[in-house]
């Protein structure tokens, strides 16, 4: 099977509260759009990640803080990040989807996977939940590929409009994991300067407010994709945030769905060249419901193609 899709109903029950941009309809629109566009693709149920799997990248105190405190109604983690009664399980299923997808790709069950899950993850640091994120699912997946499958070169490409400060924080000192990000600046969380290099494994490309799809394509074609090609990853992971779209209410870029499709094709080509085609994508941001539908279809069409 060329592409596996992962999700779980509990991810629709994670509810940060009325008016919150990271709302359940985000995921519902993605799933509906993919079902309409790709009716023959198989959906897999996301399993639960274990505490041990989370602890590869997260402090046990953060894990306990998210999983063990009771939630009645809503529980506020920070000004932007809230939990409902279903949130802890949703976060475990989101991380578990990435782990299951890594296992499927590295045992030959599929060449590509897309995890349509929430909450998103790339802002969660080793010890702090923040920016709508509880656990860093893409980091958990990368650590699983290293620990359980013995890989030594895993790349994470992040095109969410917000810098994945959590992913960078977790892997900045680990040369086995390359992190590449294009993001708007100035914008939350205020990290991701081009001067941030980690141990030579961090590559950030800043886009100024108003930058369009041509600018997005240029920073990837001229800077980030060549760095990824030189790294020759054994597995490509993607933090697929679609909030750089021109309709997104939380940012000021001017990207179209077709630009995300183009970038996905480039990442797939690199995965084909170095990683036996193995590419795992996980949903991150994107807060225009109309744009999310179009972007998710363009992204998955490139994964299938």
In the chain, the domains with their CATH numbers are: 3-304 (3.40.800.20)
Q: Mind listing the pLDDT tens digit for each residue in 199-228?
A: 999 999 999 999 999 999 999 999 999 999
Residue found by looking up tokens 């990442």 in the block = 267
Note if 123 is an active site residue.
yes
- Which entry of 14, 29, 122, 123 is annotated as an active-site residue? 123
Instruction: Give how far Cα 71 sits from Cα of 8, 63, 222, 225, 295, Å.
Output: 21, 15, 47, 43, 33
pLDDT score for 2: 87
Tell me, what's the pLDDT at 33?
98
Of 102, 43, 44, 38, which is closest to residue 303 (Cα–Cα)?
Answer: 38
224-280 pLDDT per residue, tens: 999 999 999 999 999 999 999 999 999 999 999 999 999 999 999 999 999 999 999
Residue 212, pLDDT score = 98
Residue 182 has pLDDT above 70, yes or no: yes
pTM over 0.95: yes
The single-letter DSSP state of residue 39 is: T
Beta bridge partners of 115: 6, 282
Q: Which pLDDT score, from 0 to 100, does residue 162 have?
A: 98
Confidence of residue 1 (pLDDT cuts 50, 70, 90): low
In this structure, the chain runs to a length of 305
Contact 291, 242 (CB under 8 A): yes
Q: Is 120 exposed, middle or buried (0-12, 13-18, 19+ CB in 10 A)?
A: buried
Note the pLDDT tens digit of each residue in 12-41.
999 999 999 999 999 999 999 999 999 999
């Amino acid at each position: 099977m060329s592409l596996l899709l992962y999700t779980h109903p509990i991810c629709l029950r994670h509810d940060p509260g009325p008016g919150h941009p990271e709302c359940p309809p985000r995921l519902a629109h993605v799933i509906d759009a993919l079902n309409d566009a790709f009716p023959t693709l198989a959906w897999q149920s996301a399993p639960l990640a274990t505490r041990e799997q989370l602890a590869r990248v997260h402090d046990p105190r953060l894990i306990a803080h998210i999983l063990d405190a009771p939630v009645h109604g809503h529980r506020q983690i920070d000004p932007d990040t809230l939990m409902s009664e279903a949130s802890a399980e949703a976060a475990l299923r989101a991380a578990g989807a990435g782990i299951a997808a890594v296992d499927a790709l590295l045992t030959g069950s599929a060449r590509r996977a897309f995890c349509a899950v929430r909450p998103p993850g790339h802002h969660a640091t080793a010890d702090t939940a923040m920016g709508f994120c509880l656990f860093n699912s893409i980091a958990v997946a990368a650590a699983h590929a290293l620990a359980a499958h013995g890989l030594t070169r895993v790349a994470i490409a992040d095109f969410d409009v917000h810098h994945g400060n959590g992913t960078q924080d977790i892997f900045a000192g680990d040369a086995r994991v390359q992190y590449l990000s294009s993001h708007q600046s100035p914008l939350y969380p205020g990290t991701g300067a081009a001067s941030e290099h980690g141990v030579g494994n961090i590559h950030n490309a800043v886009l100024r407010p108003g930058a369009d799809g041509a600018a997005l394509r240029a920073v990837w074609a001229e800077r980030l994709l060549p760095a990824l090609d030189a790294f020759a990853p054994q597995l490509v992971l993607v933090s697929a945030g679609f909030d750089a779209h021109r309709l997104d209410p939380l940012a000021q870029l001017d990207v179209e769905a077709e630009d995300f499709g183009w970038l996905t094709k480039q990442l797939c080509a690199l995965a084909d060249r170095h990683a036996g085609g193995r590419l795992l994508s996980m949903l991150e941001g994107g807060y225009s419901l109309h744009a999310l539908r179009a972007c998710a279809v363009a992204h998955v069409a490139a994964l299938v193609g």
